[in-house]
Amino acid sequence: MTSDERGIPTGSEPVEGTQFDFLSPRELGDTQLDTGYGDLLRDEDGRARVRLATADGQRRATLWLDEGYPYLMLFTGDSLPERARRRRGLGIEPMTCAPNALQSGEGLRILAPGESVATAWGIAPE
């Protein structure tokens, strides 16, 4: 998802070939993320997966999310104030709607009284 100088989403564009392309495994490096992802690739079981590993490959984990989560938000913390713990990890947030959906309506699901939704996500250490 693209955003303006205030971080408000303005649209979307393909990530293939950009600094935000993690479709093939690679180091995060200096890439700064406060980025929404949509059009997630899914396996045969309908789950999208984010696979993470330490630089030496000794520790790995997979975050999986079902079809109830069509979006992800990834955040490296680079925009946090100096006194905050910056770049101590990677925040990954499964999202049921697009960033700023209350304004744009993109992916927003409105439930009638008595309706419910069940979704699932999880983390599998390896």
pTM of the model: 0.84
Are the beta carbons of 106 and 98 closer than 8 angstroms? Answer: yes
Please, what's the b/e burial string for 1-32 (b: 16 or more CB within 10 A of its CB; e: otherwise)?
beeeeeeebeeeeebeeeebebeeeeeeeebe
Are the beta carbons of 94 and 62 closer than 8 angstroms? Answer: no
| DSSP reduced 3-state for 125 | strand
Domains and CATH numbers, the chain: 1-126 (2.70.98.10)
Q: How far apart are the first and last CA of the chain?
A: 30
Which residue has 């309908």 as its token pair?
46
Digitized pLDDT (tens) for each residue of the chain, 126 residues in all = 677 777 777 778 888 999 999 999 899 988 989 899 999 999 999 999 999 998 898 999 999 999 999 999 999 887 777 766 666 778 999 999 998 898 889 999 999 999 999 999 999 998
The residues near 24 (Cβ < 8 Å, ≥ 6 apart) are none
